[in-house]
Chains A and B, each alone.
Chain A
Amino acid sequence: MIVALFATCLVDGLFPDVGIATTRLLRRLGHQVEFPQQQTCCGQMHVNSGYPDEAVPLVRHHVDTFERYDAVVVPSGSCTAAIRHQHATLAERAGDPALAARARAVAARTFELSEFLVDVLAVTDVGAYFPHRVTFHPTCHALRLLRVDDRPYRLLRAVDGLDLVELPAAEQCCGFGGTFAIKNAEVSSAMLADKLANVAASGAALCAAGDASCLMHIGGGLVTSGAPTRTLHLAEILASTR
């Protein structure tokens, strides 16, 4: 299968290791991975910040870029949710039903990484080796907009050597929320402080998640607070081998 990687703007620009890990993992599983160089951003930041009109050209650009692929993999629950739940609605709102139909077709072939592995490739043991104590933060949009449920946990439990420990109050938001982290910085930081306390209480050496954005928030908080725990994307763990 030829798989297109939609890396997301954040991974492309700031966390390329997440995209590299996703690519190596899928290639190891025997698939061709293409990175369409035309790709930019799903437009979620604009929509969620109150600029839906500005997001419409980004939706059109995304559809143009990914329409020709059979499957699109995204190492982000949040951006997958934007493609699945926002793109067609935005096109309709802009009075472009043709674009809405195309956006729906692309969305139907777009999968968050854990969905793609478990549902499309029907694999939970990806042959990874990662001998560390890890806790997992189930990011809000993967959890509540995609309903990925226990898919990431099933993948992590199958990793050789990995010690998966429970994160207390795991399903509480870390406080990122896009521009919320800036506009309501103090409430966001209070939410983050509780998340950091729970990460510490888990006893894990690493906090993993399926979204680079939430990890940027949690990871930044860990560094500033002087905590020893570090963050890692699910893809980076699944890509690791002996």
Chain B
Amino acid sequence: MTFLGMPGASTSGQVRADRPFPTAARDALADPQLRANLRNATTTIRDKRARVVAEVPDWVELRAAGAAMKDDVLAHLDDYLGQLERQVTARGATVHWARDGDEANRIVTDLVRATGAREVVKVKSMATQEIALNEALAAAGIQAVETDLAELIVQLGHDRPSHILVPAIHRNRTEIRDIFQREMPGVDPELSDDPKMLAEAARRYLRRKFLSAQVAISGANFAVAETGTLAVVESEGNGRMCLTLPRTLITVMGIEKLVATWRDLEVYLQLLPRSSTGERMNPYTSMWTGATEGQDSHLVLLDNGRTATLADPQGRAALRCIRCSACLNVCPVYERAGGHAYGSTYPGPIGAVLSPQLTGVDAGFNATLPFASSLCGACYDVCPVAIDIPSMLVHLRARAPKHAAERVAMRTAAWTMRSPRRWQRALRALRLARPLHRFRRLPPPLSRWTKSRALPTPPRQTLRDWFADDGA
């Protein structure tokens, strides 16, 4: 069995935290409005998901199938990628290979330049967020217009997405109205914050873009190796417009998005909408194979750290992810810290295991991400492809660099606990700490506990002493 994607691949783009997670989390923690927005949004979608998942009698089997089929794809990724390339090429489209984000951005920029277009419309795509394609295009004088409503809000607000499915989850409707008034050309200056009116304003703005665009850029939720078919799953119909109207279509897709056969889609098209939006079925599923007549179609296959992730037997299951974001919505840490705290295109529990693997755990502050979890396990329970995120977090914690003082403390604790005699002495010494209890707050680093939590008073007698004295 080989786990081979693309040899010699590296990583670039927006998957690297530039602040430690505990520091970055303070922004959201200090913002009561943001925390209320996040709590309301995640609670609503969490409940919707639970309802529509509960009504599927064979959910357990679907989930197991979803995991097994992805594992098969990952175990034979080189074969399936070759098959996909042959099928896509045979049907009139062009396949490009990109080792990292920079290479993918160069390929896309050159393709757009060749058309002479100065503006492109975009379907919401995680892969192009990951590689910062919009910024690369802008540097080449090409403007990318996001056409997903939430993505458009983020783009117009000069902001970053904070959720995989709902990138503007951190914004409320008043903020959105203000952004539209400030940034959307030709918008009604009297625009209200009624969601219907906001959607209408975006629709008018985007309609002009769809009708004039010569080039569209998309991601793909799935690619079928057997037929060369690409699929985009969406709610708004903007994706369908982008995929069908412009003459040139460029799709950027991570190499792990493959499924083997057309039939396999049956499983994922049930798992994804129910886990993601809490819908039985999403409104728009677009599929295309190669290039339609008169269309110029390109597929850019992106590695950007995926081959390196594939090489780790305990970490590779993260590549099963179908980007549903169910793990974000149930995560108590995400709910309080918000998506920006993760410093990556991929926030939440899946981001905490994916970002450090894509970049290598030493990159930026990505080593702090696996620690951004209480290991409560809620993410694993809801994952539609059964990624054991808690175990993977623990595995990545072992690979993260440690502070010298912490290492000494942990080694000393282990050395003490290895010997019942040393352990007994340590426990008895705890009694000496009894007077400390009079102090409500202790100096750092213990203040990190005592700021919000009183310390327990060490007992006069340990349990082992009770047993030794009168308990036996």
Minimal Cβ-Cβ distance residue in A for B427: A13
Of A118-126, A148-156, A171-179, the one touching chain B: A171-179
Chain B nearest CB, measured from A182 CB (Å): 5
Q: Are A224 and B453 in contact (CB under 8 A)?
A: yes
Q: Are A184 and B21 in contact (CB under 8 A)?
A: yes
Minimal Cβ-Cβ distance residue in A for B454: A223
Known contacts A51-B410, A181-B449, A184-B21: A175-B456 contact under CB 8 Å? no
Q: Are B26 and A144 in contact (CB under 8 A)?
A: no
B111 at interface (Cβ–Cβ under 8 A)?
Answer: no
Q: Are B374 and A191 in contact (CB under 8 A)?
A: yes
Q: Are A188 and B410 in contact (CB under 8 A)?
A: no
Binary per-residue interface labels of chain A (35-62) against chain B in the complex, 1 for a CB within 8 Å, 0 otherwise: 1011111010111111110110110010
B376 at interface (Cβ–Cβ under 8 A)?
Answer: yes
Q: Are B451 and A189 in contact (CB under 8 A)?
A: yes
B432 at interface (Cβ–Cβ under 8 A)?
Answer: no
| Residue tally, chain A, CB below 8 Å to B | 67
Binary per-residue interface labels of chain B (289-330) against chain A in the complex, 1 for a CB within 8 Å, 0 otherwise: 000000000000000000000000000000000000000000
A16 at interface (Cβ–Cβ under 8 A)?
Answer: yes
B84 at interface (Cβ–Cβ under 8 A)?
Answer: no
* Assembly CA distance A185 to B380 (angstroms): 23
A145 at interface (Cβ–Cβ under 8 A)?
Answer: yes
Q: Are B377 and A224 in contact (CB under 8 A)?
A: no
Minimal Cβ-Cβ distance residue in A for B447: A185
* Assembly CA distance A46 to B467 (angstroms): 27
* Assembly CA distance A5 to B398 (angstroms): 30
Binary per-residue interface labels of chain B (319-353) against chain A in the complex, 1 for a CB within 8 Å, 0 otherwise: 00000000000001100110000000000000000
Q: Are B372 and A187 in contact (CB under 8 A)?
A: yes
Docked complex: A166-222 residues within 8 A CB-CB of B: 171-173, 175-193, 216-217, 219-221
A102: chain B residues at CB < 8 Å are none
Q: Are B378 and A52 in contact (CB under 8 A)?
A: no
Chain A nearest CB, measured from B441 CB (Å): 9
* Assembly CA distance A182 to B455 (angstroms): 13
Q: Are A187 and B375 in contact (CB under 8 A)?
A: no
Partner of B397, one of A7, A48, A189: A48
Known contacts A173-B378, A182-B448: A35-B456 contact under CB 8 Å? no
* Assembly CA distance A180 to B336 (angstroms): 14
B400: chain A residues at CB < 8 Å are 50
Q: Are B398 and A52 in contact (CB under 8 A)?
A: yes
Of B145-153, B279-287, B415-423, the one touching chain A: B415-423
A37: chain B residues at CB < 8 Å are 420, 464, 467-468
Greatest chain B CB density within 10 A among A14, A15, A141 is at: A14
Docked complex: B407-460 residues within 8 A CB-CB of A: 407, 410-411, 413-414, 417-420, 423, 426-427, 430, 440, 445, 448-456, 458-459
Q: Are A11 and B414 in contact (CB under 8 A)?
A: no
Chain B nearest CB, measured from A185 CB (Å): 4
A23 at interface (Cβ–Cβ under 8 A)?
Answer: yes
* Assembly CA distance A51 to B371 (angstroms): 13
Chain B nearest CB, measured from A154 CB (Å): 22
Partner of B449, one of A46, A54, A177, A185: A185
Q: Are B471 and A20 in contact (CB under 8 A)?
A: yes
Docked complex: A78-100 residues within 8 A CB-CB of B: none
Partner of B374, one of A40, A140, A221: A140
Cβ contacts A to B, 13 pairs, < 8 Å: A9-B417, A11-B463, A35-B464, A40-B417, A50-B398, A54-B411, A61-B418, A181-B453, A182-B445, A183-B22, A185-B448, A192-B452, A221-B452
Given contacts A16-B463, A140-B376, A140-B378, 9 further A-B contacts (CB under 8 A): A16-B466, A50-B397, A50-B399, A171-B378, A173-B374, A183-B22, A185-B451, A217-B453, A220-B453
Residue positions of A touching B, CB distance < 8 A: 7, 9, 11-17, 19-20, 23, 35, 37-41, 43, 45-52, 54-55, 57-58, 61, 140-141, 143-145, 171-173, 175-193, 216-217, 219-221, 223-225
Residue positions of B touching A, CB distance < 8 A: 21-22, 25-26, 29, 35, 332-333, 336-337, 370-378, 380-381, 394, 397-400, 402, 407, 410-411, 413-414, 417-420, 423, 426-427, 430, 440, 445, 448-456, 458-459, 461-464, 466-468, 471-472
